[in-house]
C-alpha cells in the first residue's frame, strides 16, 4: 500500500483524510474534518460534498 500526503486547503495542515467540497461559488477544494464542519455551517446553502480522499491507497 502506498501512502501520500495532502494539505487542507483552508488551514494547510497535513491530514490522512480530506473531504472534497465546493462552497460559495468556489472551485473544488480539499478540507480536513475540522474545517469542513465550519464551512458546512457557514455556507449551508452553497456547500456541496464531492467525495473523500484518503492518504493510503491500494497499489
> What value does the mean pLDDT take over residues 23-48?
95
pLDDT at 3 (0 to 100):
80
Three-class DSSP category at 37: helix
Using 50, 70 and 90 to split pLDDT, how confident is the model at 59? low
pLDDT at 5 (0 to 100):
85
**pTM for the predicted model, two decimal places:** 0.84
- What are the sequence ranges of the domains in the chain? 2-52
> What value does the mean pLDDT take over residues 2-29?
93
> What value does the mean pLDDT take over residues 1-29?
92
Instruction: Give yes or no for a contact between 12 and 50, defined as CB atoms under 8 angstroms apart.
Output: no
- Alpha-carbon distances of 14 from 8, 21, 45, rounded to whole Å: 6, 17, 28
**Of all helices (H) and strands (E), which one includes residue 7?**
strand 6-7
Amino acid at each position: 500500500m502506498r501512502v501520500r500526503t495532502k494539505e487542507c486547503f483552508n488551514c494547510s495542515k497535513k491530514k490522512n483524510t480530506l473531504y472534497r467540497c465546493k462552497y460559495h461559488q468556489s472551485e473544488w477544494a480539499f478540507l480536513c474534518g475540522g474545517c469542513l464542519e465550519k464551512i458546512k455551517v457557514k455556507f449551508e446553502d452553497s456547500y456541496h460534498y464531492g467525495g473523500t480522499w484518503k492518504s493510503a491507497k491500494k497499489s
